[in-house]
Amino acid sequence: MKRMLIIGALASLLIGANAQAADKLKVVTSIQDFASLTKEVGGDRVDVTSIAKGYQDPHFVEPKPSYLLLLRDADLLEVVGLELEIGWLPPLLDQSRNNRIRPGQAGYLDLSNGVSILDKPSSNVNRSMGDVHPLGNPHYWLDPVNAVRIAIQIQQKLAQLRPADAPYFAQRLNDFKLRINEANKRWLATMAPYRGAKIVTYHNSWPNFAKYFGLDVVGYVEPKPGVPPSPSHTFDLIQMMKANKVKAILMEPYFDAKTPQSIAERTGSTLVVMYPSVGGAKSGTDDYISLFNLNLSNLVKALR
């Protein structure tokens, strides 16, 4: 009898473990940063995959059918919103054959709803202004406060989809908050001497980052969002950078370094490859905190 009980208990444990493994929430995110934050909160109760890689421009992702295989089985889709994914996500969603993750359903989470958004146009925009985002700048995850807001929204959504695991998600969120809070103190202390420093960025991807760390973005390598650098704009930018003593040009790894490198050489500034997303570099950007550690370390070297 006792032996049977032990076998029964072991079997139920095994079955329970298997059921739990199979019962992981399948989460698909549009960018790797959200995947990282979802792992922070969801731990081993979630199975997370990102569509765009961290070293890829998230504006231009090919809507490959292989992504349909991910979306078809997903319980939750997390998106940046603000039309960042407008060029590739809608056809994928239409073909996903998964009603749970369509906008308006419980399995669709637009994380722009609960964060601070910058660059919301105050007047009508049109395409003569370049590839502008009419709903505001979508690169909002590059602000640690927004990262916590994103994590909170993820925790709330995971708890909604898996109420039984809500305490687990809440605990992991608190752990993450404590860790990022400690890291944030370091980050701000590191950047304190450079508050007010003037910088130039390739694309307008860094407004949240710059505002948070008190950097002054005085120009862009692109003459207008999405428009490649032109000789006349580059000439004007060089003059302006010299006049303002700009020390650093920030550029994502997926842009061509030729023009910004040339500008840096002519102005005595430094071209800094900044990783806009988790996974942007081969190493050192495995999660959100390490992403900021690496970016700030690289930036400070240029601003010194």
Partner 1 sequence: MAIGHRFLCIPILITLTAFPAFAQQAPATDPKIDQLEKKLDELLRQAAEIRQQLDSIKGSQPEAVPDLTKVEVPPAAATAATSTETPAKETPPPALTDVQTVENVPNPGASKVFNPDVSVIGNFFGKAGQKNTTEFGEERPSMQLEEAEVAFEAFVDPYAKAKFFLAAGPNGLEVEEGYANFIALPKDFTAKVGKMKATFGKANTWHTHVRPWVDQPLVIHNFFGDEQLADNGISVSRDIANPYNVFIEATGEVFSGSAERVFERVSDNDLFYNGHLKLFRELNENQNVELGTSYARGTLGEAGSSSYGGVDVTYRWKPLQQGLYRGFIGRFEGMINDNPLASRNLKGFYASGDYQLGQRWFAGARIDAADRLTDGAIAKDRGVSATLTFWPSEFSQLRTQLRRTKYGFLDKPVNELLLQLQFAIGAHGAHTF
Tokens of 103: 């906008």
By C-alpha distance, which of 188, 46, 25 is closest to 107? 25
Please state, as a whole number, how many other Cβ atoms lie within 10 Å of the Cβ of residue 33: 29
Q: Which is nearer to partner 1, 15 or 93 (CB)?
A: 93
The residue within the footprint of partner 1, chosen from 32, 184, 267, 270 (CB under 8 A), is 184
Listing from the earlier edge strand, what are the strands of the sheet with 108-110?
A: 46-50, 25-29, 76-79, 108-110
- 118 belongs to the binding site for partner 1 (CB under 8 A): no
Whether the CA torsion 150, 156, 161, 162 is positive or negative: it is: positive
Q: How many residues bind partner 1 (CB under 8 A)?
A: 60
Pick the piece of the chain touching partner 1 (CB under 8 A) from 9-17, 25-33, 123-131, 264-272: 123-131
Contact 78, 38 (CB under 8 A): yes
Query: Does 159 participate in binding partner 1 (rule CB under 8 A)?
Result: yes
Is residue 69 close enough to count as binding partner 1 by CB under 8 A?
yes
- Decide whether 55 or 293 has the Cβ nearer to partner 1: 55
Smallest gap from residue 239 Cβ to partner 1 (A)? 24
Site membership for partner 1, residue 211 (CB under 8 A): no
Stretch of residues binding partner 1 (CB under 8 A), selected from 8-16, 220-228, 266-274, 295-303: 220-228
Cβ closer to partner 1: 226 or 240?
226
When the beta carbons of 241 and 289 are compared against partner 1, the nearer one is 289
Spell out, one character per residue from 221 to 250, where the chain touches partner 1: x when CB under 8 A holds, - when not: -----xxx----------------------
Strand partners, 249: 200, 271
Q: Which of 1, 2, 22, 97 binds partner 1 (CB under 8 A)?
A: 97
**Distance, CA of 189 to chain centre:** 23
Place of tokens 């900044």: 274
Provide, rounded to whole angstroms, the least separation between the CB of residue 299 and partner 1: 18
By CB under 8 A, name the binding residues for partner 1. 53, 55-57, 60, 62-66, 68-69, 72, 86-88, 90-91, 94-95, 97, 99, 102, 106, 109, 113-115, 127, 130-131, 144-145, 148-149, 152-153, 156-157, 159-160, 174, 177-178, 180-181, 184-185, 188-189, 192, 195, 214, 226-228, 253-256
